[in-house]
Amino acid sequence: MFRFCQLILIAAASLLLALPSQAAGLIKPVNSSYADLQIRQHHVEVVIEDGYATTQVEQVFYNPNAGELEAIYSFPVPDKAVVGEFSYWIDGQPVTGEVLEKQQARQVYEQEKLAGRETALVEKDAYKTFEINVYPVRPQQEVRVRLVYLQTAEVDHGVGRYLYPLEEGGVDEQKLAFWSRNETVEAQFSFNLKLRTSYPIDGLRLPQHPDARVQQLDAQQWQVSLASAPAVEEGAATSSGPAATLDQDILVYWRHQQGLPGRLELVAQRDAGSEPGTFMLTLTPGDDLPALQGGRDWVFVLDRSGSMRGKFATLAEGVRQGLGKLRPDDRYRIMLFNDSADEFTRGFQPATSDHIERTLNRLGQLQAGGSTNLYAGLELGLDSLDSDRPGAIVLVTDGVANVGNTERRDFLDLLQRKDVRLFTFIMGNSANRPLLEGMTRVSNGFAMTVSNADDIVGKLMQATSKLNHAALRDIELRIDGGRVSEVTRNQLGSLYRGQQLITLGRYQQPGPVTVTLTGKVGDQPRSYQTTIELPAQANLHPELERLWAFATIDNLRAEQDYLGADADARQAMKDLALQYDLVTDQTSMVVLRDEVFAAMNIDRDNRTRVANEQQARVQRAQLPVQQRQADQQQPMFSGNSASLGGGNGNGGGNGSGAVSPWLLLVVLIALGAPLQSRLFNRSTC
């Protein structure tokens, strides 16, 4: 089983070694005659604390042309991120945008643009991109904008991960055909991240940015800094190149010290005397899931569509390195898909050297091309499973289903035909995450998003640990007391080793509540329980309201996938987005002059909400880091939480990156070295 897991992420690593980049940046139509608009400045400020991250991006655009132009900036949608603030500097002052229904916001923006007045718009293109439109950028003039988005923090096996996405992946062929892109920052670039944590950290690093400055400010605070300006050749009067290029994801890892307890953490927001309050619970279970035993069948479903061109030969070599590491009683089968799906291996193959050599010699001769018929690939993989043996499907894709069945409901119905686990490796920032994660959830499997900047060895170890242990299945989270309501994700499917469970909800009555997590390990029921206190007053986390509203919208969208389109649910999603000022598929954020907001009778609700959030962030920064564990008096879990083990972190910014750890992995496998101890002596995560 362990060796099989090595195979999965060696294949994934092979993909990453050759991923092409379509970067974030300013776009203009292909064949347009005007000079590119410029990104003069790009500054990113990130704060991760109390279970969620706040990312602020400030940019300055410049127009080198003789006429007024519109700036259009596009960047990938960060995973589970919600935009809460967009500001555009008008007459030297930032003006905060307000959220309207999407079509109305576009109409207002175009109306103001036609009138020649300052205006800006933020739209979401489903799961693909956020797009910022700013008008006008006057000749030889600059404009400044600021965007702020929120997302829950990601921690797996005690390893935290923050991704600032810049690589778009190049899978949207229509946009690639129409738009050209300028991703260079001409004058100033900076990226600053502050981590404030209740629990000790023994290392923090950026795998692809070894020049980052990493500082431990105190026992509970760390800081990361990246900055650059244009290169100037010796003796030259002007710069010789841009300050930065927005073509590589920035990825930050931090690793908690080992031996931390399983725990429940609570963050809440409730103004004195008002209701409801909002809470976020983060459950980190103890390490009590047993290891799996016995041989299994594994069906690989591999994407060989056109977006894989240039990557498929490397994928084949990665599979060659890994297949020989399967257990003697394991069997494998390979399915390939592009416009259609085909079985490649002609039935299950035993993991012998002769079979592996023949399989990989043939696989290495294939070329990628065509469209992405994901449904056909999964259907063939499901139909190939042998009901007499335990098995699972491993899907590796970086694309979007664009031929054959493409409706999400069809995929969910397909996965419900058989009781089989789907393990999905989502490559890059442009894959259809909602579809792939939804399918994985239905099958009680797990999905892992992999960036070009990821440390592949660390990802390998996390996947290995999950696949090597039983999962807590059919889980349910119940909260009794406090008149708690509208809890997100109370039916969660499965929880794998090392995973956290994050849920948000509302409460009308402060005081004690009982939290119960139930599920099954095999046929055996499991139950975990504790009592915690919901506060009567807590005013340092107003962002929780937006995070709760966004998670609720996400839940409603998932329900529609199961039950079909529902007008009431769609209206509820739009109402929540308008009430809590969120940019979604149905809503956008528009900036107008103050007098135009007043003339159009558009309430400035978001301006008030943004001011409250900014004030709370200032207050939090001035306070010591708070302890958020809520079950210290009555621990919910016994034992310590799961970790990957080994070694001491050096806390530095140095790192060998995505390629070197992969090569290290191959060497370690060849030497038969104990993987965990060797890797963590190198502070891999």
CA-closest candidate to residue 374, choices 392, 393, 395, 394 = 395
Q: What is the pLDDT of residues 629-681, one digit of tens each?
A: 999 999 999 999 998 764 333 333 333 333 333 333 333 333 333 333 333 33
Q: What is the pLDDT of residues 310-341, one digit of tens each?
A: 556 655 655 665 565 566 777 888 899 989 99
- Identify the structural domains of the chain with CATH numbers, from first to last: 25-232+240-256 (2.60.40.1730)
The pLDDT value recorded for residue 540 is 96
More confident residue, 566 or 594: 594
- pLDDT value at 530 more than 50: yes
Burial of 48-74, coded b for 16+ CB within 10 Å and e otherwise, reads: bbbbbbbbbbbbbbbbeeeeebbbbbb
Residue 280 exposed, middle or buried by CB count within 10 Å (0-12, 13-18, 19+): buried
Please tell me the least confidently modeled range out of 12-16, 27-31, 56-60, 85-89: 12-16
> What is the mean pLDDT of the segment spanning 167-178?
60
Q: How far is CA 506 from CA 278, 377, 426, 462, in A?
A: 5, 41, 32, 33
The pLDDT value recorded for residue 88 is 96
| CB 122, CB 54: distance < 8 Å | no
- pLDDT value at 380 more than 60: yes
The pLDDT value recorded for residue 224 is 96
Count of positions (residues) in the chain? 685
pLDDT > 70 in the chain, percent = 82
pLDDT > 90 in the chain, percent = 47
- SS3 state of residue 554: helix
Q: What is the pLDDT of residues 211-225, one digit of tens each?
A: 999 999 988 899 999
The pLDDT value recorded for residue 558 is 77
Phi, psi of 381 (to 5 degrees): -65, -40
More confident residue, 166 or 597: 597
| CB 533, CB 137: distance < 8 Å | no
Ranges of beta strands (E only) in 323-471 are 331-337, 341-343, 349-350, 391-397, 421-427, 446-450
The pLDDT value recorded for residue 322 is 52
More confident residue, 685 or 453: 453
The pLDDT value recorded for residue 321 is 55
In terms of average pLDDT, the best of 120-129, 171-180, 381-390 is 120-129
Q: What strands lie across the sheet with 250-256, from one edge to the other? A: 154-156, 159-164, 250-256, 201-205
- SS3 state of residue 106: helix
In terms of average pLDDT, the best of 309-313, 357-361, 536-540, 554-558 is 536-540
Q: Where are the alpha helices (DSSP H) in 603-673?
A: 605-622, 659-671
User: Distance between CA atoms of 516 and 529, rounded to whole angstroms?
Assistant: 4
The pLDDT value recorded for residue 681 is 32
Q: How far is CA 426 from CA 429, 457, 649, 671, in A?
A: 8, 16, 28, 30
- Report which residue type is found at 91: D
What is the sign, positive or negative, of the torsion defined by CA atoms of 434, 440, 445, 451? negative
This prediction has a pTM of: 0.85
- pLDDT value at 160 more than 90: yes
What is the rounded end-to-end Cα distance, in angstroms, of the chain? Answer: 22
More confident residue, 321 or 603: 603
More confident residue, 170 or 436: 436
The pLDDT value recorded for residue 409 is 79
Taking residue 195's Cβ as centre, other Cβ atoms within 10 Å add up to: 24
- pLDDT value at 299 more than 70: yes
> What is the mean pLDDT of the segment spanning 64-78?
91
> What is the mean pLDDT of the segment spanning 157-184?
76
Please tell me the least confidently modeled range out of 224-228, 254-258, 351-355: 351-355
Taking residue 237's Cβ as centre, other Cβ atoms within 10 Å add up to: 6
- Report which residue type is found at 514: T
Return the half-sphere exposure (C-beta side, CA atoms, 13 A cut-off) of residue 529.
9
433 pLDDT tier (thresholds 50, 70, 90): confident
Helices (H) and strands (E) in the chain, counts: 15, 35
The pLDDT value recorded for residue 134 is 95
The pLDDT value recorded for residue 12 is 39
Please tell me the least confidently modeled range out of 9-18, 523-532, 566-575: 9-18
User: Distance between CA atoms of 27 and 37, rounded to whole angstroms?
Assistant: 8
- pLDDT value at 573 more than 90: yes
- pLDDT value at 165 more than 80: yes
Please provide the average confidence, as pLDDT, over all residues in the chain. Answer: 82
Please tell me the least confidently modeled range out of 208-212, 541-545, 612-616: 208-212
Q: What is the pLDDT of residues 414-429, one digit of tens each?
A: 887 777 888 887 776 7
The pLDDT value recorded for residue 177 is 59
User: Distance between CA atoms of 457 and 464, rounded to whole angstroms?
Assistant: 10
User: Distance between CA atoms of 195 and 54, rounded to whole angstroms?
Assistant: 11
In terms of average pLDDT, the best of 309-323, 465-479, 488-502, 559-573 is 465-479
| CB 251, CB 451: distance < 8 Å | yes
DSSP 3-state helix, strand, coil percentages of the chain (rounded to 5)?
A: 25, 35, 40
Cis previous bond, 20, omega within 30? no
In terms of average pLDDT, the best of 381-390, 463-472, 530-539 is 530-539
